[in-house]
A and B are shown apart, each in its own frame.
Chain A
Amino acid sequence: MRNALILTGNQADAEDLAQEVLLKAFRAIDQYRDGSNMMAWLMAILRNCRIDRLRAAGVRPRDVSLEQLELDPAAPPAAESSWQSPQEALAAFSDQQVIQALGALPEDIRWTLLLVDVQDWPQQDAAQLLGVPVGTIKSRLHRGRAMLREALLPLARQMRLAGGASPS
């Protein structure tokens, strides 16, 4: 449910998604190999359900290619240096604010941050689930964290947790 909430950003959609995942898991329990990683199995089901839902809704997930990650510049240094005390500033945001900011990120970057940063998966396991090389996971992590900070920066300025011009 927590993972579904992080992916969808709202309770209603998260319940729909989590229900679908758990029902699929319940019906396919015979396919689960005893002793293997149940969380990884459930995550794989979650990923497939999520992709199906996005397709059905006619939404093409905003993916980002490795080339784009390399060419697309990170937030300008001036913006990054606006964070005065990063640890304290980022800790001050509520879970809902962070989830909302995650919603602005491309789907695959959101998945990478969910698996590695939130769920503390090894990068190798995240790479396997997402079907990409470990190098791509590393790039997405770095880029994703920067994009998240960029998304939170206007709010941080309003809360006086970061310097620079506050939005009117």
Chain B
Amino acid sequence: MQQPDASNFDQQLEQATSQRLRRLAAMPVDTHGLEKRLRLQIPAPASRHHGWLGRLQAVAAALVVAGAVVAAIALWSGGPVQASAAHMAQVHRDIIENRVPVMKVDSIAQASRMLAANNPAALPQAPDTHVMACCMKDIKNKKVACVLLRSEDSPITLSVASAADMKLPRGKPVMHNGIAYHVEQIDNLHMVSAQRDGRWVCLIGQVSSQRLMAIASRLEF
């Protein structure tokens, strides 16, 4: 029948447009010019002391003002951060080697409940994998939910954060089932990352990057 297909297509168009706009929240911006202008505009308060103490106070005051300016710009720009492959590899190893506290769970639903209070980005379902444990990590002041999965007897860490918080690496992505993935390797680990449905999603483990992309493409948001 024509109508359900047309309505489904309309929904696809709406979602695709909304998702493309959402990506603008992570767009890199150059704030150097703005920072310079603000530092010139915001004067340091006058010191009541003269000589070296007055100069020291002026420098301290200028540093406080500069810090406030930078903080305001950081807040205003909502700067996304990049989680390096090395960092994510460390996170993965810490989890599988029990070096960090994790919560034992056996489903995404349970992990979602456990992490709900601190997790800004809802977890997707991960079909064809066993869910083992979960925890929250802080990566450059951004909250990232980590779930330990097992796929074909191999541990894989699925990390999820808000797309506005995380930058994808530079370089040409690999397309897999219509989704663009950034693929990296560090030591014996492969890592794939992408933005999907307003979320940054990263999978890392000893399995091949093809296998990781296949798992990622089946995530259900």
Chain A interface (Cβ within 8 Å of chain B)?
1-3, 5-6, 11, 15, 18-19, 21-23, 25-26, 38-39, 42, 77, 80-81, 83, 85-91, 93, 95, 98-99, 113, 117-120, 142, 145, 148-149
**Complex Cα–Cα for A25 and B42 (A):** 12
Q: Are B25 and A119 in contact (CB under 8 A)?
A: yes
Chain B interface (Cβ within 8 Å of chain A)?
6, 9-10, 12-25, 27, 29-31, 33-34, 37-38, 41-42, 68-69, 72-73, 75-78, 164, 178, 180, 198
Partner of A145 from the list B17, B30, B77, B198 (CB cut-off 8 Å) is B17
Closest Cβ of chain A to B2, distance in Å, is: 11
Closest Cβ of chain B to A37, distance in Å, is: 12
Partner of A90 from the list B19, B29, B37 (CB cut-off 8 Å) is B19
Point out the residues of chain A lying under 8 angstroms from B68, CB to CB.
Answer: 26
**Complex Cα–Cα for A86 and B20 (A):** 10
Q: Are B178 and A88 in contact (CB under 8 A)?
A: yes
Q: Are B77 and A87 in contact (CB under 8 A)?
A: no
Q: Are B77 and A2 in contact (CB under 8 A)?
A: yes
Q: Are B14 and A120 in contact (CB under 8 A)?
A: no
Taking CB as reference atom, which chain A residue is nearest B164? A120
**Complex Cα–Cα for A113 and B19 (A):** 11
Point out the residues of chain B lying under 8 angstroms from A149, CB to CB.
Answer: 13, 17
Q: Are B164 and A15 in contact (CB under 8 A)?
A: no
Partner of B13 from the list A6, A15, A83, A95 (CB cut-off 8 Å) is A83
Q: Are A86 and B16 in contact (CB under 8 A)?
A: yes
Closest 8 CB pairs of A and B: A117-B21, A86-B16, A145-B17, A90-B20, A87-B16, A95-B27, A90-B16, A118-B24
Point out the residues of chain B lying under 8 angstroms from A15, CB to CB.
Answer: 33-34, 37
